[in-house]
Amino acid sequence: MADCIFCRIIKGTIPCEKLYEDDRVISFLDINPASPGHTLVLPKAHFATLFDIPEEELKVCATAVQKIARAVLSATKAPGLNLLQNNFPAAGQLVHHLHFHLIPRFHDDNLRLLPGKNHPGTGHDKILARIRAELQATG
């Protein structure tokens, strides 16, 4: 897509700090890192969300994510790493090209990505049943 910043990076019209590239995947440092070494991994083909990418392409991305995550973790000497992937604006997706964040984590870095408490009365049993029904319906 012509207006997609990641597609422009892939084409080379916008520079990036490239870490990895093959014929189907590219990886580069995030321009606004949450921590040192914050890396993005994305398919070269444009898919807006996780729900749009074909299974075979997703497998290729997942393999690259694992390989690059190992390198990021080793290079940063971080004791942990978050894998984050947002879908749609309500979930914080800013660039509508599927991408995976590899975020090195350090003790006491004060970066908060996960919910911190249980919310009683949120219909846990009902949503559990609905998700299980969806999984059965889709095989």
Tokens matching residue 45: 């083909």
Location of structure tokens 């990505």: 113
Task: Give the integer Cα–Cα distance in Å for 57 and 53.
Answer: 6
The tally of CA atoms less than 13 A away on the side-chain side of residue 14 is 11
Give the tokens for residue 102. 């590899």
Given 38, 96, 99, 101, the catalytic residue: 99
Q: Can 38 be counted among the known catalytic residues?
A: no
Q: Where are the alpha helices (DSSP H) in 39-123?
A: 55-76
**CA distance to 5, 48, 113, 129, per residue, from 126 (Å):** 40, 30, 26, 5
Q: What is the C-alpha separation between 136 and 126, in angstroms, rounded?
A: 16
Q: Which residues are catalytic?
A: 99
